[in-house]
Chains A and B, each alone.
Chain A
């Protein structure tokens, strides 16, 4: 579904990705792990068109993403939850979710149904639907950011460090939600995580990114046994 070959990306004149190849199949759970500043976030940003990028192939469902502006990409079925829980602080919970459905050419009935689905997934959001989103806790804001991404009914959900800065209990709830989403089988998840242990536990396959290239890839279970991964990322 998502096919990336030899992807390069730049911040100004600085090359941040030096030929990354990566694929995500429909309904799959894939993790990207690696040290800080290795380029994990940049991969997601490159897919979404938020950085200057060029690849031998950058396709989603056979469509070339490299010519598309960022705002056109969500409508293809790619939802990106950026780092740091970017909710629209000035809007209510419900308005945030509706803003997420913005790119969808749907009638209001379908939006309603999506909204109900998100509320079924994150009951807490339903309780707080009228509340200003800036008054939510960190965990709730992350749920909201993910809920907003789901409003498009994406086939690929990209999450950038979703557990960052959350309390352990909130992280547990968050991953429960992600499990539910993945279990439905219609949405593939591409997860960037600082916490490698958690990411490998969640994903079936993973990529280890170091210095802007793929250092290692394979099934999560195998990576979790790998000596180098254990030493560098799992702290064992």
Chain B
């Protein structure tokens, strides 16, 4: 029935995956390791948001960080200024991200080709500049600190990394479930048709603009939610960490390296690259920080040469090979 449909194992493998994700803290990893795992999960969620439009429909967003930043800034501002719990703030951030996606898509999806990438890039820069200059409200380039309350589920703050991890893991599971469901829904067909050929898709009766819009909005919401949890987790956000172009590219990179046309590719990419990046940054007193970017670039180049469809395709190929031999 499906070529790029859900895939990746049966119900057993899925259940094992869910347990592995939720049960990771039981391994008794260090607090630092759990922090890395939390970051990985959050970036995986954000990258999953990117992949719904960028991977499934090949409408490459170069401004996904905008959605991440909206999630982080809205919840943090509401919390810091009016004491609104980040649970509500996260919902407000997601709603704003959805509205921004609708407005942006309304313009960009009238045009075909690379305009979407350019418009998302332009918007991302505009938002970053506005946030940097509107210092009284946003803290400007100095960033915003999340008021410290410590250990309150209601205010989404914890003392231990593993508690943040569980929140991030639940969000990750929800994001993966949504992405997997979309791949199997009619919307999944529509996006794959758009990926291959927009005109042929329209001639097959696909409302191309609506399909793109739905994927973009769903992805914006996921990415914004990840941004909110990220802000709570790190306790501090600034334009560099949540609104920058390098972050946008990083998110796309996780999805592409993992396999942007599959629901689990973004997680695979993040699970490989985020810990690698952390390792490089923390070693040698941060001397590796610059090298990380070089390394990311090299990995991307290698991936594009070896298998442009990412780890997912590499794995599928191997499995198919194994089956052919059996």
Out of B190, B196, B201, B206, which one reaches A89, CB within 8 Å?
B196
Question: Is B202 engaged at the interface, CB distance under 8 Å to the other chain?
Answer: yes
Name the CB-closest residue of B to A145. B200
Out of B189, B195, B200, which one reaches A82, CB within 8 Å?
B200
Name the CB-closest residue of A to B261. A90
Question: Is A31 engaged at the interface, CB distance under 8 Å to the other chain?
Answer: no
**Bitwise interface map of A from 65 to 93 toward B, beta carbon under 8 Å scored 1, else 0:** 00001111011000111100011111110
User: In the complex, A143 Cα to B252 Cα: how many Å?
Assistant: 36
Q: Which residues from B are CB-within-8-Å of A74?
A: 203-205
Question: Is B207 engaged at the interface, CB distance under 8 Å to the other chain?
Answer: yes
Known: A74-B204, A95-B1, A95-B3. A86 touches B186 (CB 8 A): no
User: In the complex, A186 Cα to B200 Cα: how many Å?
Assistant: 23
Do residues B202 and A50 form an inter-chain contact, with CB atoms below 8 A? yes
Q: Which residues from B are CB-within-8-Å of A99?
A: 189, 192-193, 201, 204, 206
A98: min CB distance to chain B, Å: 7
Question: Is A102 engaged at the interface, CB distance under 8 Å to the other chain?
Answer: yes
Q: Which residues from B are CB-within-8-Å of A48?
A: 202-203
**Bitwise interface map of B from 176 to 209 toward A, beta carbon under 8 Å scored 1, else 0:** 0000000000100110110111011111111110
Known: A95-B1, A99-B189. A90 touches B204 (CB 8 A): no
Question: Is B2 engaged at the interface, CB distance under 8 Å to the other chain?
Answer: yes
Interface size on A, residues (CB 8 A): 31
Question: Is A156 engaged at the interface, CB distance under 8 Å to the other chain?
Answer: no
Known: A95-B1, A102-B189. A90 touches B202 (CB 8 A): no
User: In the complex, A35 Cα to B186 Cα: how many Å?
Assistant: 40
Question: Is A34 engaged at the interface, CB distance under 8 Å to the other chain?
Answer: no
User: In the complex, A80 Cα to B199 Cα: how many Å?
Assistant: 10
Q: Which chain A residues (84-121) contact chain B, with CB distance < 8 Å?
A: 86-92, 94-95, 98-100, 102-104
Max count, chain A CB within 10 A of own CB: residue among B199, B203, B207? B203
Question: Is B4 engaged at the interface, CB distance under 8 Å to the other chain?
Answer: yes
Interface size on B, residues (CB 8 A): 23
Question: Is A148 engaged at the interface, CB distance under 8 Å to the other chain?
Answer: yes
B266: min CB distance to chain A, Å: 18
Known: A92-B2, A95-B2, A102-B204. A82 touches B192 (CB 8 A): no
Known: A71-B208, A86-B197, A99-B193. A91 touches B203 (CB 8 A): no
Known: A91-B192, A91-B196. A80 touches B205 (CB 8 A): no
Question: Is A189 engaged at the interface, CB distance under 8 Å to the other chain?
Answer: no
User: In the complex, A72 Cα to B204 Cα: how many Å?
Assistant: 9
Q: Which residues from B are CB-within-8-Å of A87?
A: 196, 200
Known: A48-B203, A88-B197, A148-B204. A94 touches B192 (CB 8 A): no
Do residues A82 and B203 form an inter-chain contact, with CB atoms below 8 A? yes
Do residues A98 and B4 form an inter-chain contact, with CB atoms below 8 A? no
Out of A50, A75, A79, A91, which one reaches B199, CB within 8 Å?
A50
Do residues B200 and A132 form an inter-chain contact, with CB atoms below 8 A? no
Q: Which residues from A are CB-within-8-Å of B1?
A: 94-95
A215: min CB distance to chain B, Å: 28
Q: Which residues from A are CB-within-8-Å of B201?
A: 88, 99
Q: Which residues from A are CB-within-8-Å of B196?
A: 86-91
**Bitwise interface map of A from 149 to 166 toward B, beta carbon under 8 Å scored 1, else 0:** 100100000000000000
A39: min CB distance to chain B, Å: 18
Do residues A90 and B195 form an inter-chain contact, with CB atoms below 8 A? yes
Do residues A102 and B206 form an inter-chain contact, with CB atoms below 8 A? yes
User: In the complex, A48 Cα to B3 Cα: how many Å?
Assistant: 28
Known: A90-B192, A91-B192. A80 touches B203 (CB 8 A): yes
Do residues B205 and A132 form an inter-chain contact, with CB atoms below 8 A? no
Q: Which residues from A are CB-within-8-Å of B4?
A: 90-91
Name the CB-closest residue of B to A95. B3
Q: Which residues from B are CB-within-8-Å of A86?
A: 196-197, 199-200, 203
Q: Which chain A residues (31-72) contact chain B, with CB distance < 8 Å?
A: 48, 50, 69-72
Do residues A75 and B205 form an inter-chain contact, with CB atoms below 8 A? yes
Out of A70, A94, A98, which one reaches B203, CB within 8 Å?
A70
8 residue pairs of the A-B complex, CB under 8 angstroms, read A74-B204, A82-B203, A88-B192, A88-B197, A90-B192, A102-B186, A102-B190, A152-B205
The chain B residues found within 8 Å of chain A, CB to CB, are 1-4, 186, 189-190, 192-193, 195-197, 199-208, 261
Given contacts A71-B207, A99-B201, 8 further A-B contacts (CB under 8 A): A50-B202, A71-B208, A80-B203, A88-B197, A90-B192, A98-B189, A102-B190, A102-B193
